[in-house]
Amino acid sequence: MKQTVFTGAGVAIITPMFEDGSINYDELGRMIEDQIAGGTDSIIICGTTGEASTMPDEEHLDCIEYAVKKTAGRIPVIAGTGSNDTRHAVALSCEAVRRGADALLQVTPYYNKTNQAGLIRHFTAVADVAGVPILLYNVPSRTGMNIAPATCLELSKHPMIVGIKEASGNISQVAQIHQLCGDDLAIYSGNDDQIIPILALGGKGVISVLSNVAPRKTHEICQLWFEGKTKESLALQMEMLPLCSALFCDVNPIPVKAAMNLLGYKAGSCRMPLGELSADKAELLRTQLQQHGLL
């Protein structure tokens, strides 16, 4: 049985920015402290929600290093270092580890994509040299590429590939992955509206956008489940469902950054090409934050 990087709710943390688009590190530090105080079980830095795709390598790595130093070993820091160029993913991953990342999140190659055999070669190339645990990231809606259950089984045989963030939305696929891989591949929900279904299929938690605005509640959904309080866990998931929907009323992370601004953080805007939230969607978001007692 492999060691699990974390159980519970890890936050896919946003990257706060100034008006000129540069990273607001002081505000990122404030967010990290508030996440830890709110019970978050892991910081996932420079993922999709963190806008890593618009970061040059040095900025990307500086952001990872800052999160590592700010977190100071209190909870794991998982760094997004995936790429559609295997050599780039390897180089970025090795440097992120040198700067202190506890684990790495590796998305499937996008745009040029590959086949399943290519996925195995790609992820294995990173896992062979990184020296820290690897979480795969399956998000076909963004990449056009799905990690098949049989491919998960093959990758789970690597000692450093320990988990997967499953954001395919395909619950049957999640069941197949767990049936094939068991404890050799920890499964994390990549969708906040599917935490309970994935926990019920043996999942270890969630890598969450919702945690940015409601870290305690997201943590509690998982913790209650692990304590055997399944009805309470389900009730809390259902309670948070309208807010989850509001946080995905537009392309992530547009809504969650708007939400964090509403909550008093200096989150700033998203970098282009991401746009601003429309007035009607902003009102929907504000209403949900109010109804959940966050505003």
Could you tell me the CATH superfamily of domain 8-229?
Aldolase class I (3.20.20.70)
Of the listed 70, 137, 217, 265, which one is catalytic? 137
Residue 48 CB partners (closer than 8 Å, separation 6+): 12, 80, 107, 139, 142, 252, 253
- Of 285, 242, 292, nearest in space to 261 by CA: 285
Q: How far apart are CA 135 and CA 78, in angstroms?
A: 9
Of the listed 70, 113, 165, 188, which one is catalytic? 165
Residues linked to residue 205 through DSSP beta bridges, in sequence order: 8, 188
Classify strands 8-12 and 205-208 as parallel, antiparallel or unpaired.
parallel
Does 137 participate in catalysis according to the annotation?
A: yes
Does 165 participate in catalysis according to the annotation?
A: yes
Asked if residues 190 and 139 have their Cβ atoms less than 8 Å apart, the reply is yes
User: So what's the pLDDT on residue 2?
Assistant: 82
Q: How deeply is 170 buried, as exposed, middle or buried, from its count of CB atoms within 10 A (0-12, 13-18, 19+)?
A: middle
Classify strands 186-189 and 134-138 as parallel, antiparallel or unpaired.
unpaired
Phi, psi (degrees; rounded to nearest 5) at 116: -65, -35
Cα-Cα-Cα-Cα dihedral sign, residues 147, 152, 155, 158: positive
User: So what's the pLDDT on residue 3?
Assistant: 86
Residue 239 CB partners (closer than 8 Å, separation 6+): 217, 292
For 202-269, the DSSP string reads T--EEEESGGGT-HHHHHHHHHHHHTT-HHHHHHHHHHHHHHHHHHTSSSTTHHHHHHHHHTT----P
Cα-Cα-Cα-Cα dihedral sign, residues 149, 13, 111, 122: negative
Q: Where in the chain are the domains?
A: 8-229
Count of Cβ atoms closer than 10 Å to residue 101 Cβ? 26
Q: What is the pTM of this model?
A: 0.97
For 182-221, the DSSP string reads GGGSEEEESSGGGHHHHHHTT--EEEESGGGT-HHHHHHH
Q: Which of the residues in the chain have pLDDT under 70? A: 1
User: So what's the pLDDT on residue 254?
Assistant: 98
Cα pseudo-dihedral 232, 236, 237, 240, rounded to 10: 170
Give per-residue pLDDT as tens, 114-144.
Answer: 999 999 999 999 999 999 999 999 999 999 9
